[in-house]
Each structure stands twice: as structure tokens, then as C-alpha cells.
Chain A
Amino acid sequence: MADSMKIRASLKGEVTEVKVLMIHPMETGRRKNDFGDVEPAHFIQLVTATLNGKPVLEAQWGTGISKNPYLTFRLKGAKAGDKVAVNWVDNKGESNAIDTAVIAA
């Protein structure tokens, strides 16, 4: 499943910029498919990010986040080689996670 997420953490000066791409349909529960049936809601509800295991970002999402969600966030105090991990859980209880090492840019 890890191939359905991408992450990059680059250190520039004192700030580490983390970019994350998640593969997810983010169905609102209002969209009709080609057969006229309403697609049930299926969306990421919680995204958590950690730096060396310590929480840095906790996001709650609704259906207003676009399909295949993209997220950039910034960390202060991270060093090259530190571990950044991101995990999501959706409304069906499915989840995915990915981690990477901070790279000096």
C-alpha cells in the first residue's frame, strides 16, 4: 500500500518542508456514478504526522478535500536524517502510512 502514498521532507535553512501525496477517492457521498447510483461516502478523516515519533500535525478532514489529497507542512528543529512519518485513516477504517528521512536540500 505504501506505493499509494508519496512523501518528501527537505531541509532548507531551519525549516523542513514536508510534501505528501495520498491516493484516495475522497467520495463525498453525493456524487452519482455513470449508472446514476450515488457513490457512498469514502474519505480520509484523520491525518497524523510525527517527527521521530513525536506528533507534529493532526488534521481532521471532511469531504471537501480534493481526490488524491495533497498536503504541505513545515517543521522547525528537524535535522537531516530525522524520521518524518504520515498516517491516514478514512471513514471505513482503512488506513495507510509512509515515512521518510529528512534530506538537506
Chain B
Amino acid sequence: MNRRALLKSAAALAGLLALAPFNALAALWNKPAFDSQNVDGALKGLGVMQAEPSRDIVLIAPDMAENGAIVQIEVESHIPGTEAIAVLAEKNPTALIANFVFSNGAEPYVITRIKLAETGELKAVVKAGGKYYSVSKKVEVALGGCG
């Protein structure tokens, strides 16, 4: 390899490395799951074929949300070996709201604030030991928040 070819390939490699972080992150984001308009499609995108209803997942959300733009929710899993919690809203334009993956001593617990377009089922799906478990809660929405 002559000097010019070496410099050229070094420059190409540097260019690739500069692009890598953003591309890697973009590739990480589960586009098929987040683009899906319904719960079934979103779950399929997450690789969930079947989720067994479980009482060991605590999903706290208001029965009635005055403002669908800001609805505080809390999810906690008591299922041993919980690796991830996904949050979905049945009636949102895109059903999947978030997927949280826990490691290295993080407890399977989150509080966050979500948007709800209209009254419907809010669902939490837990991944534990290669299996999936779910819990649902109906939230009435007075003023939709998905404009």
C-alpha cells in the first residue's frame, strides 16, 4: 500500500468513526415497535409474542386524567429477574411510549410522565427470564394530550 492509499483509507476510517456513535444509537432505537399504531404491532416489534397477565406488576396511574399531556405513572415489577418494562397506551397514535431496560443493580421501578390521547387501556409489559408478563389499567382522559 502506498502512502496516498494509506492516508485515504485512514481518512475514510476516521469518517466512519465520527459517524458511528449517532448511527449506532439510531440503530438501537426500535423504530418498528415505536412506529406501530396499535399495541399488538408494538409488542411484535419488541419481540413479545405472548404476555401473561400478572399481579406482581404494580402500575399506578390516575383513574381520571384531567390533562392527557401530562399523566404521571409509576411502574414496579415484583417478578424475580425482571430485565425490562415497556409502557404502552392502547389509544395513542403510536402505542409504545417507552421501554426501560435495567441492569447492574437498578431496581425494576420507574416513575415518568406520559401523554394519553384519549380514554383507554394503559399497559405495562415486563420481561423476566425470557418470558413476558403484563398488567393493564384503564385511564379516563378528559382532555387529550397527543396533538
Residues of A within 8 A of B (CB): 15, 28, 30-32, 45-46, 49, 51, 54-67, 69-78, 89, 93
B113 an interface residue at 8 Å Cβ cutoff? yes
* Per-residue interface assignment for chain B, residues 4 to 39, with 1 indicating a CB less than 8 Å from any chain A CB and 0 otherwise: 000000000000000000100110111000100000
Q: Is the CB of A64 within 8 A of B92?
A: yes
> Are A30 and B93 in contact (CB-based, < 8 A)?
yes
Q: Let me know if A66 and B34 touch, CB within 8 A.
A: no
- When chains A and B are docked, how far (Å) is the Cα of A63 from the Cα of B96? 9
- Asked if B104 and A45 make an inter-chain contact with CB atoms under 8 angstroms apart, the answer reads no
Tell me the B81-137 residues at the A interface (CB within 8 Å): 87, 89, 92-94, 96-107, 109-116
Q: How many residues of B sit at the interface, in one of the four size bands?
A: 35 or more
* B115 contact from A46, A58, A66, A71, Cβ within 8 A: A66
Kindly report which residue of chain A lies nearest to residue B113, judged by CB atoms.
A66
B-side contacts of A66, CB under 8 Å: 69-71, 112-115, 145
* Contact A62-B94, Cβ < 8 Å, known A72-B111, A72-B112, A74-B106: yes
Distance of B92 from chain A, by nearest CB (Å): 5
CA distance A1 to B25 in the complex (A): 20
Say what secondary structure dominates the interface of chain A: strand
Asked if B47 is an interface residue, CB under 8 A from chain A, the answer is: no
Q: How far is the CB of A59 from chain B (nearest CB, A)?
A: 5
Question: Can you name 15 A-B pairs with beta carbons within 8 Å?
Answer: A15-B107, A45-B25, A46-B29, A51-B105, A59-B100, A60-B99, A62-B94, A64-B92, A65-B98, A65-B114, A69-B112, A70-B113, A72-B109, A73-B106, A93-B22
